[in-house]
């Protein structure tokens, strides 16, 4: 956390290297998180890119006083929910304009990309050690905080943090490898 706050301080000072460090550290995990919300890889890429663009553009006014990670994930979550709301409104308008068609058309590419990402996630989780996979599932799918996980599994919070860091590194590596093969 302190390391991230120091990186943000350097970003605010215009240090492009610090910005690149921040981008490399969080881009893939944020992309995965955003895709899990929007079910669209393209939308996720746009949302995450916009987030980093705005961070750099407004770096002088950037005011992150708590966890940089929390700030980034909350931003992605909020923008993802806005995207879903806009799409729902757009979809409703399109449905109103349809005459007698009963089958809406789905974006096949987005659907396939989402399921490919879902399969990649599943494969990656299966390859993790059991404890790490369990901690990851408890955090991501059950929305438990590190402290709650630590209590349930009789582990230290630091151990949970370390396992989550390793799990996210594994996922990032798998996503990067799959993107390179495209």
Q: What single string gives the DSSP state of each residue in 38-105?
A: HS-HHHHHHHHHHHHHHHHHTGGG----S-HHHHHHHHHHHHHHHHHHHHHHHHHHHHHH-SS--S--
Enumerate residues 6+ apart whose C-beta is below 8 A from 133: 125, 126, 167
When pLDDT is cut at 50, 70 and 90, the band that residue 16 belongs to is very high
Return the structure tokens found at 173: 């590596």
Enumerate residues 6+ apart whose C-beta is below 8 A from 132: 163, 166, 167
Q: Tell me the per-residue pLDDT of 46-61, one tens digit each, with 9 for 90 and over.
A: 999 999 999 999 988 8
**Among 170, 157, 172, which Cα is nearest to 125's?**
170
Return the structure tokens found at 177: 């490898």
When computed from its CA atoms, the radius of gyration of the chain, rounded to whole angstroms, is 19
Return the structure tokens found at 37: 């919300």
Q: Tell me the per-residue pLDDT of 94-107, one tens digit each, with 9 for 90 and over.
A: 455 544 444 444 44
Domains of the chain (ranges; CATH) run 1-105 (1.10.1740.10), 111-182 (1.10.10.10)
pLDDT value for 87: 77
CA 62 to chain centre: 20
CB 114 within 8 A of CB 40: yes
CB 166 within 8 A of CB 131: no
């Amino acid at each position: 956390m302190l390391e991230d706050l120091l990186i943000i301080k350097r970003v605010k000072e215009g240090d492009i290297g610090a910005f690149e460090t921040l981008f490399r550290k969080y881009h893939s995990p944020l992309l995965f998180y955003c895709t899990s919300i929007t079910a669209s890889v393209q939308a996720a890429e746009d949302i995450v890119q916009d987030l980093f663009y705005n961070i750099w553009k407004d770096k002088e006014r950037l005011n992150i006083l708590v966890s940089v990670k929390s700030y980034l994930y909350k931003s992605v979550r909020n923008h993802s929910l806005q995207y879903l709301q806009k799409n729902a409104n757009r979809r409703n308008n399109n449905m109103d304009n349809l005459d007698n068609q009963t089958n809406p058309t789905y974006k096949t590419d987005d659907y396939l990309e989402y399921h490919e990402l879902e399969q990649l996630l599943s494969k990656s989780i299966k390859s993790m050690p059991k404890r790490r996979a369990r901690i990851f599932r408890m955090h991501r799918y059950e929305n438990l905080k590190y402290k709650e996980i630590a209590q349930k599994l009789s582990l230290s919070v630091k151990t949970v943090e370390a396992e989550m860091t390793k799990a996210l590194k594994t996922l990032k590596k798998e996503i990067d490898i799959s993107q390179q093969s495209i």
